[in-house]
Amino acid sequence: MAQLSIITKNRNVPLDKIRNVGIIAHIDSGKTTTTERFLFYTGRTYKIGDIDEGTTQMDWMPQERERGITIVSAATTTFWKGVRINIIDTPGHVDFTAEVERSLRVLDGGVVIFDAEEGVQSQSETVWRQADKYRVPRICFINKMDKLGADFEATVKEIKERLGANPAVMTYPIGKEQDFKGIVDLLTLKILVWDKDDQGIEYSISDQIPPDLKDKVLKMRAKLVEHVAETDDKLLDKYLNNQEISVEELKKALRKAVISYKLIPIFCGTSLRNKAVQPVLDAIIDYLPSPADLKEIKGLHPVNAEEEKRKLTPEEKFAALAFKIQLDPHVGKLTYTRIYSGVLKSGTYVYNINRDKQERVSRVLLMHANQREEVDEAFAGEIVALVGPKETRTGDTLADPAYPLILEKIIFPEPVISLAIEPKTKADQEKLSYTLQRLSEEDPTFKVKINHETGQTIMSGMGELHLEILVDRMKREMGMNVNVGKPQVAYKETVTKIVDDVEGKYIKQTGGHGQYGHCVIKIEPLGRGEGFKFVNKIKGGAIPSEFIPPVEKGVVEAMDKGVLLGFPMVDLQVTLLDGSYHDVDSSDIAFKIAGSIALQDAAKKAGLTLLEPIMKLEVTVPENFMGVVIGDISSKRGKIIGTEKRSRAVIIKGYVPLAELSGYATILRSLTEGRGIFYMEPSHYEEVPRNIIQTMLNK
């Protein structure tokens, strides 16, 4: 705790001395290793954490340490040259994309890490697009310059071409692969060589550019100066008149260009070998924005939906966004919150606008991965965890009750895979629903549904690894022993034809009051991904207005249960055209049942079909295995969209139905003698071929 108290003492720094940054990248690019070096060089930790030894600070969960991957984003705070850096280390695996999404929503800047041999990989593209969506200024670090096949210039070219970035190359490597020993700083033309100690704390600085690099370096510096000058009118004027531009002027203009998304500074090094990490820390301070640079945040007034603004200062009215819920065994529910404006004191009440609830904040905690330190108050620009709020969920806005505003929510992707789960003993039944509820509070991409017909509990997530980790957490953290079914693909049902004038009638005569509900609907298909629309076209009070929501409810319930094979229905519009009612016997329940009957009858006539999730698949294999892997993908109903050569390997890209990819890791290993690796992410939904639907119906 001594380490944390240093942070506590130095917390109240000026806004321009705060950086909220996320470390984002493809899996295995070196995010956690780089973060561990940041913590070590800034004096936050006294020992470098190692992923292979399971001693990292940021990967603290047992599952993370065993597998050597990041599963949950971890937050920490450190200081470098008098600037406070709040860092979030995010997962690289696509199954945990929600962690990246919610982290980027609350960060001011990002450090994107690339593998110097692999270049821009598919998950790099995904996280880049996520950062674009939230307009996050970023810098790039080309890591693993010591790796066999490392190619700095090819990776820079890919960043430009595949990501559409405008790169400003800031450092150039001296040597590569096992000969990589340092960098040339292109702004100052200083040579930085890490040859003093194994931990990379000390390095030598000189002005002597190696003769074999001199021409290249001077050419690249000229290019960098031109790039920066183009973003600033004053500097462009100087540049065109061949006047000298100072390093300070360049830095200032570059900072402005980064914050306005015009340029992306690029650095290189190797985190594992402790070389060239400190210049990236300098770059975070020099080029990434502070809350003072971003000036304000916009939101909407909850009542009149007019735009509201808040300055990002402690003097402003309080506004914050809850971006992550974590269940801590010691303190209960932690609500990770980015405070945008104002000050939050422990023991006070805040207003949750999304839930229309007052929430008491009993404690405010500063986090270092899974360690906590209590503080009395939190200021604008900080990322803290709150203890106390009970109703708050991911994406909720907390604000001053007298000055409410709603900040932009976080939108998460839909799950694509599910499995049935049941408790091993009857006594565990109640405990299971409590456990699942807690886990779904933490993870917005984890959904739970109970199939009332079979009594099964179905849990859905973003991939097999995602569900595997959740089941493992249930066993370890919550002592739940469960039986797990085989993973099931999240199919959806839809219609292909328009059907008009379908009646739904529910009439039941009993001794007393009867039941009477009657509606007439039209059903029609919508485009892929358009969801569901309900249109009310009742005229002249054929159905009283209070019975129209029950009809919609009945339709929605019938859609959730599915008609063809019991999968939820999507992408259709239901129009309520007509109906009738009875003065005495009509009721909400009767119209709900009528709506449900009408939907089922209409769907059966409207060309029901099945949709399946299609995955974007990228397989990296040595060239001699290319033919056999392509053949296997084609046999799985896959479409090959292209191949690409990178160093000594070939990348095969395609779209494959998720249903065909069960156990693909094992298949690929056996096809490629263990040398193939693959990456997949959900892409879109497509119709299932008729013959496969028939086979499923006959089962």
**pLDDT bracket for residue 492 (50, 70, 90):** very high
**Both structure tokens of 365:** 């905690």
Average pLDDT, integer, range 542-571: 92
Q: Beta-carbon neighbour count of residue 212 at 10 Å?
A: 8
Q: Beta-carbon neighbour count of residue 388 at 10 Å?
A: 21
pLDDT above 90 (res 611):
yes
CA dihedral defined by 435, 441, 447, 452, rounded to 10 degrees?
Answer: 50
pLDDT above 70 (res 504):
yes
pLDDT of residue 22: 86
Query: Is 28 known as a binding-site position?
Result: yes
Query: Is 339 known as a binding-site position?
Result: no
pLDDT above 50 (res 141):
yes
d(CA 111, CA 665): 30
pLDDT of residue 29: 81
- Helix and strand tally (H, E) in the chain? 18, 37
**Does an H or E element contain 620, and which?**
strand 608-622
Q: State CA 443 to chain mean position distance.
A: 11
What's the length of the chain? 699
Average pLDDT, integer, range 520-539: 92
Query: Is 452 known as a binding-site position?
Result: no
pLDDT above 60 (res 68):
no
Q: State CA 303 to chain mean position distance.
A: 30
- pLDDT: which is higher, 413 or 497: 497
**Does an H or E element contain 429, and which?**
helix 428-442
**Both structure tokens of 617:** 């698949």
Query: Is 90 known as a binding-site position?
Result: yes
195-204 LR contacts (CB < 8 Å, sep 24+): 198/274, 199/40, 199/48, 199/274, 200/37, 200/41, 200/273, 200/274, 200/275, 200/277, 200/278, 201/41, 203/278
Query: Is 29 known as a binding-site position?
Result: yes
Distances (CA, A) of 79 to 82, 83, 109, 198, 535: 6, 5, 16, 23, 56
Query: Is 25 known as a binding-site position?
Result: yes
Name which of 457, 377, 446, 474 is nearest 421 in CA terms.
457
pLDDT above 90 (res 580):
yes
CA dihedral defined by 460, 464, 467, 471, rounded to 10 degrees?
Answer: 140
pLDDT above 80 (res 541):
yes
Q: How do beta strands 167-169 and 171-174 pair?
A: unpaired
* E-only strand ranges, 498-599: 499-508, 515-525, 532-536, 572-580
The pLDDT tens digits of the residues spanning 201-258 come to 888 888 888 888 888 999 999 999 998 999 888 888 888 888 888 889 999 999 999 9
d(CA 245, CA 236): 10
pLDDT above 70 (res 53):
no
pLDDT of residue 10: 56
Average pLDDT, integer, range 686-698: 90
Instruction: For the domain covering 417-489, report its CATH number.
Output: 3.30.70.870
d(CA 461, CA 412): 12
Average pLDDT, integer, range 282-289: 94
pLDDT of residue 32: 79
Query: Is 31 known as a binding-site position?
Result: yes
Residue 19's SS3 state is strand
**pLDDT bracket for residue 5 (50, 70, 90):** very low
**In contact, 413 and 334? CB cutoff 8 Å:** no
| Domain spans in the chain, listed from the N-terminal domain onward | 2-294, 296-399, 417-489, 493-606, 612-698
pLDDT of residue 59: 43
Phi and psi at residue 125, in whole multiples of 5°?
Answer: -65, -40
pLDDT above 70 (res 30):
yes
CA angle 154, 159, 165 (to 5 degrees): 145
**In contact, 88 and 385? CB cutoff 8 Å:** no
The pLDDT tens digits of the residues spanning 665-678 come to 788 888 888 778 78
pLDDT of residue 524: 94
pLDDT of residue 586: 87
Average pLDDT, integer, range 492-511: 89
Look over the chain and give the mean of its residue pLDDT values, rounded to a whole number.
Answer: 84
Query: Is 93 known as a binding-site position?
Result: yes
Query: Is 91 known as a binding-site position?
Result: yes
Note the maximum CA span of the chain: 103
Instruction: For the domain covering 493-606, report its CATH number.
Output: 3.30.230.10
Q: Beta-carbon neighbour count of residue 203 at 10 Å?
A: 20
pLDDT above 80 (res 260):
yes
The yes or no reply on domain 612-698 and CATH 3.90.400.10 is: no
Residue with tokens 């249930």: 474
Distances (CA, A) of 370 to 150, 194, 330, 351, 473: 35, 32, 11, 27, 16
The pLDDT tens digits of the residues spanning 470-488 come to 888 787 777 777 888 777 7
pLDDT over 90, % of the chain: 27
pLDDT of residue 370: 60
Query: Is 197 known as a binding-site position?
Result: no
pLDDT of residue 417: 79
Average pLDDT, integer, range 368-374: 70
Distances (CA, A) of 173 to 66, 154, 192, 268: 34, 13, 10, 7
Burial bucket for residue 443 (CB in 10 Å: 0-12, 13-18, 19+): buried
Q: How do beta strands 264-268 and 138-143 pair?
A: parallel
- Amino acid identity of residue 304, one-letter, is N
**pLDDT bracket for residue 60 (50, 70, 90):** very low
Residue with tokens 């991904």: 529
The yes or no reply on domain 296-399 and CATH 2.140.10.10 is: no
95-99, 139-143, 399-403 — which one is most confidently predicted on average? 139-143
Query: Is 30 known as a binding-site position?
Result: yes
Query: Is 27 known as a binding-site position?
Result: yes
pLDDT above 60 (res 81):
yes
pLDDT above 60 (res 49):
no
Name which of 473, 483, 415, 396 is nearest 71 in CA terms.
473
Q: Which residues contact 87 (CB under 8 A, 6 or more apart)?
A: 21, 22, 23, 35, 38, 75, 76, 77, 78
Query: Is 145 known as a binding-site position?
Result: yes
Q: How do beta strands 343-345 and 377-379 pair?
A: antiparallel
**pLDDT bracket for residue 135 (50, 70, 90):** confident
**pLDDT bracket for residue 288 (50, 70, 90):** very high
Average pLDDT, integer, range 448-459: 73
Q: Beta-carbon neighbour count of residue 165 at 10 Å?
A: 21
Q: How do beta strands 18-25 and 109-115 pair?
A: parallel
**pLDDT bracket for residue 1 (50, 70, 90):** very low
Query: Is 328 known as a binding-site position?
Result: no
pLDDT above 80 (res 455):
no
pLDDT of residue 471: 83
Q: Which residues contact 698 (CB under 8 A, 6 or more apart)?
A: none
Q: How do beta strands 18-25 and 83-89 pair?
A: parallel
Domains 417-489 and 612-698 alike in fold: yes
The topology (CATH level 3) of 2-294 is: Rossmann fold (3.40.50)
pLDDT of residue 48: 67
pLDDT over 70, % of the chain: 91
Query: Is 237 known as a binding-site position?
Result: no
The pLDDT tens digits of the residues spanning 315-364 come to 899 999 888 888 777 777 888 888 988 888 888 999 999 888 999 999 88
